[in-house]
Amino acid sequence: MTIPTPALSAISDSTHDDKPIILAYSGGLDTSVAIGWIKKATGRDVVCVAVDVGQGGEDLEVIRQRALACGASAAYIADARDEFAEDYCMPALHANAMYQGAYPLVSALSRPVIVRHLVAAAREFGASTVAHGCTGKGNDQVRFEVGITSIAPELTCLSPVRDLALTRERAIEYAEEHKLPIETTKNNPFSIDQNVWGRAIETGFLEDPWNEPTKDIYAYTDDPSFPPVADEVTITFERGTPVAIDGEAVSPLQAIQIMNRRAGAQGIGRIDIIEDRLVGIKSREVYEAPGAIALLTAHRELERFTLEREQARFKPTIENRWTDLVYDGQWFSPLKTSLDAFIADTQFYVSGDIRLTLHGGRVTVTGRRSHTSLYDFNLATYDEGDSFDQSASRGFIEIVGLSTKLAARRDTAYDR
């Protein structure tokens, strides 16, 4: 099988030095085939970088060896699990990030941490080009390329799947022809991306929005229709970050992993939505993010308990913009950096315990306590000990309603 000549010349023209090319390597079909395609198109060595963000599944050493067997001159694994949890998932938790109110940015969050390691590899190996395996109609091409040039504007980007029109059928043909050590079956129609924050499943029969997801597509969650006995869990936060579960100290990574297991056992975190992609396409996406959904539920409740009223009313405006920026690949943008400062400030008093009941696909808050809460029992109670001066409400109501009272008087005069 040959690579189309026009595509070869286009890539050769844009990568005219002899420096190695860094490839974001997943170990899958497309990026495995891309190694040989890039080498033939450019005559340059390919260095593969696989970043561990808690995706589990296949052993990462096996993936590294596969990259070498497919023709990479070098390949290494970057263990970014703690980094991803602390520096990417926790800011998303602080921002209560849910794109279009439903999607907890599973894939979008992992791209900037991968970008950082790709740029580090480019500098280590003296590369001027970074390649990735994204298509031309998805969000990730933007996230990778904008992210790379945002922190390393001297680098150029290459996408074999997009720039060489590498279809799955052609990739399989190439892999079989060159006897690459990779599964080339057409039986699994799904595109799956996963990390510790969640799992994304798309394509195949899911592309018809009328088709119901089958049970076999899920891996992080059990069927919520047949749950085990209800699970009660208490999550302790300090300044918006989970630090203990049921009294046992945890790191951010451990908190996510534990809640993935416990909430996943109850079928929590299954999401099936029509999503607006950055490129203007509506796509049907299925996600499962049990730990993320449980932690987001607890964090949001603790904020209700601890944030001042106007601060709590304004923060969702910032959260929505922050979420859109991350979804759109703008993690390293000046605006996101500014919004980070606001969100970080709001977390100063977000400390305390939230008790949850996990059962049958649902997360229910059953208790909250905090030394920094703004809840005052003596003000809230209707029983003896009430310290609220109810007589002050009459004048308050007069002032609050004054403008609409004047407008109503005018409407009456003009018979509107």
Averaged pLDDT, groups of 10, the chain, 416 residues long: 45 64 90 89 93 87 92 93 98 98 96 97 95 86 96 93 75 82 63 92 88 93 96 98 98 98 98 93 95 98 97 98 97 98 98 98 97 83 73 86 91 85
* 272 is annotated as an active-site residue: no
Q: Is 27 annotated as a binding residue?
A: yes
Q: Kindly report the CA angle at 398 between 394 and 402, in degrees rounded to 5?
A: 170
Using one digit for the tens of pLDDT, what is the confidence trace for 246-267? 999 999 999 999 999 999 999 9
Instruction: Say how many C-beta atoms besides its own lie within 10 A of residue 78's C-beta.
Output: 19
Give the active site residue among 73, 191, 251, 333.
191
Residue given tokens 């070869």 in the structure block:
8
CA distance 279 to 139: 7
**Of residues 44, 64, 66, 111, which has the active-site annotation?**
111
133 among annotated binding-site residues:
yes
pLDDT of residue 37: 85
Alpha-carbon gap, residue 314 to 289, rounded angstroms? 27
pLDDT of residue 185: 52
Q: Enumerate the domain spans of the chain.
A: 5-187, 192-307+349-369, 377-411
Is 414 annotated in some ligand binding site? no
Catalytic residue among 140, 262, 270, 370: 140
Q: Are 175 and 167 in contact, with CB atoms under 8 Å apart?
A: no
| Listed residue (24, 34, 15) closest to 117, CA to CA | 24
Per residue in 165-205, pLDDT (tens digit) is 677 777 788 888 888 887 655 555 677 889 999 999 987 88
**Catalytic site includes residue 328:** no
For tokens 């997009």, name the residue.
162
363: tokens are 């997360």
CB 60 within 8 A of CB 77: yes
Residue 30: active-site member:
yes
CATH architecture of the domain formed by 377-411: Up-down Bundle (1.20)
**Residue 26, marked binder:** yes
Catalytic residue of the set 30, 52, 193, 328: 30
Q: Is 135 annotated as contributing to ligand binding?
A: yes
36 annotated binding-site participant: no
25 assigned to a ligand binding site? yes
* Residue 59 annotated as binding site: no
Question: Can you name the CATH fold of 5-187?
Answer: Rossmann fold (3.40.50)
351 catalytic? Reply is: no
- Cβ atoms of residues 24 and 155 within 8 Å: no
Identical topology for domains 192-307+349-369 and 377-411: no
| Chosen CATH of 192-307+349-369 out of 1.10.300.10, 3.90.1260.10, 3.40.605.10, 2.40.50.140 | 3.90.1260.10
